[in-house]
Structure 1
Amino acid sequence: MSPGPARSLTVHGIAEAGVALADGGGLDAVTMRSVARAVGTTAPALYRYVASREELIGRMVDVVSAALDHPDPSGDWLKDVLAVAEQQVALHRAHPWLAAASALPSPLGPHVLDHVEWVIAVLTPVGAPGRAVMEAVALTNGAAALFAGAGPSPGPELFRDLEPDRQPGLAALLAGAAPGPPSDDLFRRVLTGILTAMLDAPASR
């Protein structure tokens, strides 16, 4: 599958070529050879710009992370974090390889570091310990990846093997509430619960 026109032979251009390959064929499509072909060079020459495939993938994460729009802190920390977290869900949906790429041990690029710096600025008034703030960064990203990767809403066929005598509680629940799509605010409610408990902070101050 062609990744499109060749990118410039710069770190940014190489990372863009990797993003195009991953968007088209998943993270497995990103090899030093395939990216080298996309930028019109050889794999050995590529190592003058990125030291390893892991570093290349880290650069790819940074390239797509540049799309996040971080508003000036409003004083309502939860509102601010949720607004960017919803952008993260959209980012993961646009780049399904992003969750696996983010889990690899690679240096954080400047746009990812800018995101962490923004979260720190938003959460500083909360007074939470530094460790809790960093955990909030990680769990927000993880929750965004989880919701972005959720499959189709369950239908009745999901429960075709249900035996009311064996699973009476589930049968009773389904009798009163047929399975359907999750509520529109499910992500916000889940993330709100996680963050307020983790940071031991009210929704706003």
Structure 2
Amino acid sequence: MYTDEERPGRPGSIWLRKERAGRGPAPVHDRAGITAAAIGLADDGGLDAVTMRKVAAAIGSGATALYRYVERRDELLELMLDAALDELRFPALTGDARADLLAVARELRTVCRRHPWLLDLLQARPPMTPRVAAYLEYALAAMQHVDAPGRAKLEAAATVTGMVAMVVRTELGSAAPTREREAAQAEYLREVVAGGGHPHLAEVVRSSPPGPGDDDLLGRLLPRVLAGLLGGPEPRTPEAR
């Protein structure tokens, strides 16, 4: 005799299973509450702070009871990813694929800055969840008139998330540098360039001298990358220069 958990053909995806399998007393908790507790732990201490034991403690349960709702930590991470992406707002489509992808990238950037642990899940291969599917649907709708294979469009969508994660890591890692630090870096760069051993670097510095921290790295880089992936001329808008 099989239990609900062991029966043949039982879905492996948490999204295809009932909230709580098996017989017994009525559920005390639900996925939404468990996920919220896990996100609270991650917001405070990163993904390393999210263990089944700690999440169970946060909802006032035992770890054994938690497994009735979530079978393993990977499923919990899926729930967290999906819940965080529920904060993502999809801008209205304009018909300009690169502009629309840049717009949703900026929305995703906001969510990632709110939940930095999300970067680890996005830079790995994200699992398929309802809101990951919604993001892909939006991206493909933005590219519906682009003459490119479906695989290239999926790669472009994945590139958007990867670049957002890279940019947010850069922003968070270099937040609020001190004036002394910036001055020291500029001083060393001038010395390197003046030495004559780095002519290509010297030319770039002469033509584009470094300025204060860039507050729109995503807007400058992503359109160029998308131009390479999807074809067409490189964008010449002020944002993309």
Normalising by the smaller structure, the TM-score range is: 0.7 to 0.9
TM-score normalised by L of structure 2: 0.72
1:123 is aligned to 143
Shift in CA distance, 179/145, structure 1 to aligned 2, threshold 3 Å: same
CA offsets, 1:140-195, max 9 Å, x none?
01111111111336723225384432545345655676533344443122100111
Determine the C-alpha separation between the residues in 2 that align with 1:69 and 1:118. Answer: 11
Higher Rg? 2
Q: Does 1:60 align with 2:91?
A: no
- The answer to whether structure 1 residue 188 and structure 2 residue 219 are counterparts is yes
Query: 1-side partners of 2:111 and 2:155: how far apart?
Result: 20
Question: Corresponding residue for 1:109?
Answer: 129
Give the Cα–Cα distance (whole angstroms) in 1 for the partners of residues 160 and 68 of structure 2: 34
Structure 1 distance, partners of 2:95, 2:207, is 41
TM value normalised by structure 1: 0.83
**RMSD after superposition:** 2.5
Distance 1:148 1:182 in 2: 14
8 Å CA contact 1:147–1:187 kept in 2: the answer is: yes
Amino acid at match of 2:212: P
Tell me the equivalent position of 1:157: 184
Structure 2 unaligned regions, length at least 5: 1-27, 236-241
Deviation of 1:113 after TM superposition, in Å, equals 1.1
Is 1:198 aligned with 2:234? no
- Residue 90 of structure 1: which of 110, 115, 135 is its match? 110
The 1:173/1:155 distance shift into structure 2, 3 A limit, reads: farther
Distance 1:180 1:195 in 2: 25
**Aligned partners of 1:17, 1:156: CA distance in 2, in Å?**
43
CA 1:178–1:199 in structure 2 vs 1: closer, same or farther (change >3 Å)? closer
Does structure 2 retain, via aligned residues, the 8 Å contact 1:126–1:201? no
From the superposition, tell whether residues 32 and 104 of structure 1 become closer, same or farther in structure 2 (CA, over 3 Å): farther
Contact kept in structure 2, 1:155 and 1:180, CA below 8 Å: no
Q: Distance in 1 between matches of 2:215 and 2:126?
A: 34
Q: How many matched pairs?
A: 196
Q: Which residue of 2 aligns with 1:4?
A: none
Q: Which residue of 1 aligns with 2:15?
A: none
Correspondence for 1:18 among 38, 63, 68: 38
Contact 2:167 2:217 in 1 (8 A): no
Rounded Cα–Cα distance in structure 2 between residues aligned with 1:105 and 1:193: 23
